[in-house]
């Protein structure tokens, strides 16, 4: 039984289509990275999973239960770190934990939970004085209450410094080893690649790729990122480069001087040649191997999801 099954999920806010026929599954025991740029529809999806908003069409099952009919049971077995930290300024960290422990009917020790997230020293301090990172740690501790079967973490690294982000990933690993399924949403590839078994990439409400991190890495492996500085560039020249058979992504970085970032698997000289034929003067260029971040970028920028088709899109 999958931990999450989303089938043809569509969500409109008035005229605006936030999710369009979205389908994917997260297997039990998996750490699944849900990646997409701002506004792609990640929080909307999470809100449907938890029945905070209702879908326009489609069906969603969480822990084998219909998300709408059994939201109470699902929430009792799920730990959630929501996007945007909402702590109660006047309550101490201990009170926050006690509240979560009470709601879940668990017998967790607040001290032990705060120790896990590195916040034990602040246990009797009011959350109103917490930094963003401290609040995020507190919310994570609350999500861990009751050893949930499913952890849903929406942008969990927000406000954390690199050490905090590493500790958070360590907790994700521990929870997964305990047997929890983890659904980890982020707009930063780097955050998910270290902990996720599989990654789904969301773009404008549609899943453009679902693959293992290794699969995505393989797609990145054969590519080179070509950085070309030019005197000036117009839409026609960009379209010409984009249409070259070996080019899987093109983006423009800055305008003075204009720099093209081209993801190419094959001839780099074809790119330079095409630009010159369009009357664009190349003033400088350099190359490097593509990273996972570049692959993510290729899937989520450009007119049609430039990377589409490069990595296996989940078959249904």
**Interface with ligand ATP (CB under 6 A):** 13, 16, 18, 36, 38-44, 83, 187
Distance CA 223, CA 230 (A): 22
Identify which of residues 15 and 286 has a Cβ nearer to ligand ATP in the complex. Answer: 15
Identify which of residues 57 and 232 has a Cβ nearer to ligand ATP in the complex. Answer: 57
Residues 74, 65: contact at Cβ < 8 Å? yes
Smallest distance from the beta carbon of 204 to ligand ATP, in angstroms?
A: 8
Identify which of residues 13 and 88 has a Cβ nearer to ligand ATP in the complex. Answer: 13
Identify which of residues 18 and 225 has a Cβ nearer to ligand ATP in the complex. Answer: 18
Smallest distance from the beta carbon of 13 to ligand ATP, in angstroms?
A: 3
Smallest distance from the beta carbon of 47 to ligand ATP, in angstroms?
A: 7
Residues 243, 294: contact at Cβ < 8 Å? no
Identify which of residues 210 and 228 has a Cβ nearer to ligand ATP in the complex. Answer: 210
Among 68, 81, 66, 75, smallest CA distance to 103 is for 75
Smallest distance from the beta carbon of 74 to ligand ATP, in angstroms?
A: 19
Smallest distance from the beta carbon of 36 to ligand ATP, in angstroms?
A: 5
């Amino acid at each position: 039984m999958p931990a999450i099954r989303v089938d043809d999920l569509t969500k409109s806010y008035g005229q605006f289509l936030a999710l369009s026929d979205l389908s994917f599954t997260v297997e039990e025991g998996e750490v699944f990275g849900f990646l997409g740029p701002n506004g792609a529809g990640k929080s909307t999806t999470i809100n449907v999973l938890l029945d905070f908003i209702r879908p326009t069409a489609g069906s969603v099952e969480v822990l084998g239960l219909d998300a709408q009919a059994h939201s109470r049971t699902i929430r009792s077995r799920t730990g959630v770190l929501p996007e945007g930290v909402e702590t109660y300024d006047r309550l101490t960290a201990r009170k926050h934990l006690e509240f979560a422990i009470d709601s879940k009917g668990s017998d967790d020790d607040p001290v032990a939970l705060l120790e896990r997230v590195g916040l034990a020293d602040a246990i009797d301090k009011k959350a109103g004085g917490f930094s963003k990172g401290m609040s995020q740690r507190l919310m994570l501790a609350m999500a861990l209450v009751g050893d949930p079967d499913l952890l849903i973490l929406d942008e969990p690294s927000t406000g954390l410094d690199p050490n905090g982000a590493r500790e958070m990933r360590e907790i994700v690993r521990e929870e997964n080893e305990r047997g929890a399924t983890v659904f980890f949403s982020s707009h930063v590839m780097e955050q998910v690649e270290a902990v996720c078994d599989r990654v789904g990439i969301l773009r404008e409400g549609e899943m453009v790729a679902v693959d293992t991190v290794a699969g995505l890495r393989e797609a990145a492996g054969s590519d080179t990122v070509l950085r070309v500085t030019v005197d000036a560039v117009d839409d026609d020249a960009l379209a010409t480069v984009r249409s070259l058979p070996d080019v899987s992504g093109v983006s423009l970085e800055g305008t003075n001087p204009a720099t093209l970032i081209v993801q190419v698997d094959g001839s780099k000289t074809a790119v330079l040649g095409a630009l010159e034929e369009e009357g664009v003067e190349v003033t400088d260029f350099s190359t490097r191997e593509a990273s996972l971040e570049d692959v993510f970028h290729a899937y989520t920028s450009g007119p049609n999801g430039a990377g589409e088709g490069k990595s296996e899109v989940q078959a249904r």
